[in-house]
Structure 1
Amino acid sequence: MSIIQTTEPGEATGDVAEIYADDERTIGYVPEHTRVMAVNPEAYRAWEQLIRAIASPLGLRRYELVTLAAAQGGHSAHCRLAHGNRMRTLIDEEQLEAIARDYRHADLSAAEVAMMEHAERISTDAPDMTEADAQRLREVGFTDREIVDITLAAAARNYFSRAIQALGVAVDVPPGLSDRLRGALLAPL
C-alpha cells in the first residue's frame, strides 16, 4: 500500500479512468504504480509522451533492455518486474531469465551488453561518467543520437523508479510470471 490515497478503478472518472482503462487493455490490470502516478494525470500523460519519444527511435527491444539494466542499477523491483513482464513478448523466457540474472552472459550482442552496462552505470555512477563511456558505445556501433536516446531512457527510468519508491508504492507482481522468471527479476539487485 502506498503512502498516497488513490482512486479505486471502479470509481475513477475522466483522465484517471482513461489511464486505468489503458492499463486494463494493455496488461489486464491496474498496477499500484499507475494508480499513484495517475493522481496527477497531466504529469502521467506527459511521462507517457516522453517515453514514446525516447523509445520509438531506440526500438522496443533496445528500450526494454536499457530499462531493465537501469532498473537493476536503481534497485527497482517495481520496474524490473513490470519491464521483465513486457519483455516476454520480445525474448523467450529462458533468455529473459538469463538476462535478468546476468545480462553480460546471456547471449546478447556486444552492442546490447555495452548499452545495458551504460544504462546501469547511469543508475549507479552518473556523475563520474566521461567521454570514455560514450566512446565505448561508439566502438560497438552506436551513433551519438543513439547514445543520447540510451541515456535518456536510463535517466527516465531512474526518475520514475525514484518517484514510486519515494511514494511507498507496493511492488506488483504481474500475473503470469513464472516462479523462475520472477525469482530472476527479484534476485538481489
Structure 2
Amino acid sequence: MEPTNPSHGFLEEPPISPEIQALFDADVADHGYVMNLTRVWAQAPAAKVALFGLLADMAQLAGLTFRQRGILISATASTVGDAYCSLAWGARLATAAGDHVADAVLRGDDEPLEAADLALARWARAVAADPNATTPADLEPLRAVGFDDRQIFAVTVFVALRRAFSTVNDALGPAPDRQLRDDAPGAVDTAVSYGRTAAELPS
C-alpha cells in the first residue's frame, strides 16, 4: 500500500480497483477532482455507494428540494463541527438560497430563515446534537409547514446518515479540499471557523 498524503487522512490508500476507480471517476465528473474524503471511502467503495443510495431514497421519500437538503446538511455539519461538509454544502446552499441563508444556517442564526427552512434547520440540529432530548413538540414545526409523519421519518434518517458520514470523515482525518475553501462565498468561508483546516494544495 502506498503512503498516504496527509491531506487524504490517516489511512494508507488501497491499490486502485475498478470499484475505487469508479468512485474517483464520479468525483472528477461531479467536481473536477478526486475529493480527499473519497480517498478515505476507497477502503470500502460499496459502503459509500450504499450510503448515498439510501440518502437519495430518503430525500425522495421526504420530498426534499435541493435547497432543503442544503439546509439539513449545513445545519447538521455545523452542529457537529464538520468543516468539510459545511464548506461543500454551505456553498451549494448559498447558490440555491442566497449567502445570507447559508450564513445563518451555518452560524445557527434563525432570524433570517423562513418557516420551512427554520423547521428543518432546528430539527437537524436537535437530531445531530442530542437525539435523546427531543420531544413530540419538536415535530410540530415540521408538521406546520406540511411534512407528514412518513416524511419526518425520512428527514430524520437523512440527517442521521449525514451525521454518520461527517463522523467517519472527521474521525479519519481527510482535510477539506483546497478548492472548497477557495470557491466558498465569503459568508460561508467566514462562518466555517471550526473543524479541520483545508488542505494547503488543491486536490
Q: TM-score scaled by structure 1?
A: 0.86
Counterpart residue number, 2:189: 182
Distance 1:146 1:91 in 2: 22
Please give the residue correspondences for 1:48-59 in structure 2 after superposition, counting only pairs within 5 Å.
Answer: 48-56=52-60, 57-59=63-65
Paired residue type of 1:162:
T
Counterpart residue number, 1:38: 42
**Does 2:118 align with 1:145?**
no
Moved more, 96-105 or 54-63: 96-105
Paired residue type of 1:51:
L
Select which of 123, 128, 133 maps to 1:128: 133
Distance 2:115 2:187 in 1: 26
**Does 2:89 align with 1:83?**
yes
Counterpart residue number, 1:5: 12
Q: TM-score scaled by structure 2?
A: 0.81
Q: Tell me which stretches of 4 or more aligned residues in structure 1 moved more than 6 Å.
A: none
**Does 2:143 align with 1:165?**
no
Distance 1:167 1:188 in 2: 16
Counterpart residue number, 2:201: none
Distance 1:103 1:28 in 2: 33
Moved more, 74-83 or 170-179: 170-179
Structure 1: unaligned runs, 5 residues or longer: none
Counterpart residue number, 1:61: 67
Q: Which has the higher contact order (CA 8 A, sep 6+)?
A: 1
Aligned residues: CA RMSD: 2.1
Structure 2: unaligned runs, 5 residues or longer: 1-5, 196-203
Distance 2:37 2:17 in 1: 18
> Number of matched residues?
184
Identity score, percent = 29
Counterpart residue number, 1:25: 29
